[in-house]
Structure 1
Amino acid sequence: MSTAKKLLLEGVSDAVGFIAGALAGYGLGQAAGWNIFDAGYGATSLLGIVCVGLGGGLGLQLARRWRAARAQHAQAAERP
């Protein structure tokens, strides 16, 4: 795989993982009653923001682990 293609895959998978994780964190926060758009910076607003941040970080890590597993699988397939 060319370097440009690898970099594109890395960027797109990181972005998709982060956005999907952040949306999942937002949904969990909403389900718990923690609205990130509440007026001011109350406890529920901050808890909602934390959920979005943690979800985004977890999604990014899952995307990176997916890429690593994919690369390891490709290397194993190349071996005779």
Structure 2
Amino acid sequence: MSDTSRLLKEGLSDAIGFVGGALAAFWIARALGFDLFAEGYGSGSIGAVIAVGLGGGLGLQIARRWRAANAAKD
């Protein structure tokens, strides 16, 4: 695999993992009553910000583990 395609695969998988994890956490937080876009800095909006951050990080880690598992196969 060329260096360019490896870097493209790495960047795209990281981006998809991060955004996917953040969106999943956003919807889970919203279902639990935390509103990311609430006015002010109440506990509901802070909880949603934390959830989205954790979800994005978790999605990124899942994407990296997936990429490492696929690299072992190649």
Moved over 3 A (4+): none
1:1-80 to structure 2, matched below 5 A, reads: 1-74=1-74
Unpaired runs of at least 5, structure 2: none
Q: Report the Cα offset of residue 73 of structure 1.
A: 1.3
Q: Distance in 1 between matches of 2:73 and 2:62?
A: 16
Unpaired runs of at least 5, structure 1: 75-80
> For 2:40, what is the secondary structure of its paired residue?
coil
Q: Which amino acid aligns with 1:65?
A: R
Q: Which amino acid aligns with 2:19?
A: I
TM-score by length of structure 2 reads: 0.98
* Structure of higher CA gyration radius: 1
Q: Distance in 2 between matches of 1:73 and 1:62?
A: 17
Q: Across the two proteins, how many residue pairs are aligned to each other?
A: 74
For the aligned residues, what is the CA RMSD?
0.4
> For 2:8, what is the secondary structure of its paired residue?
helix
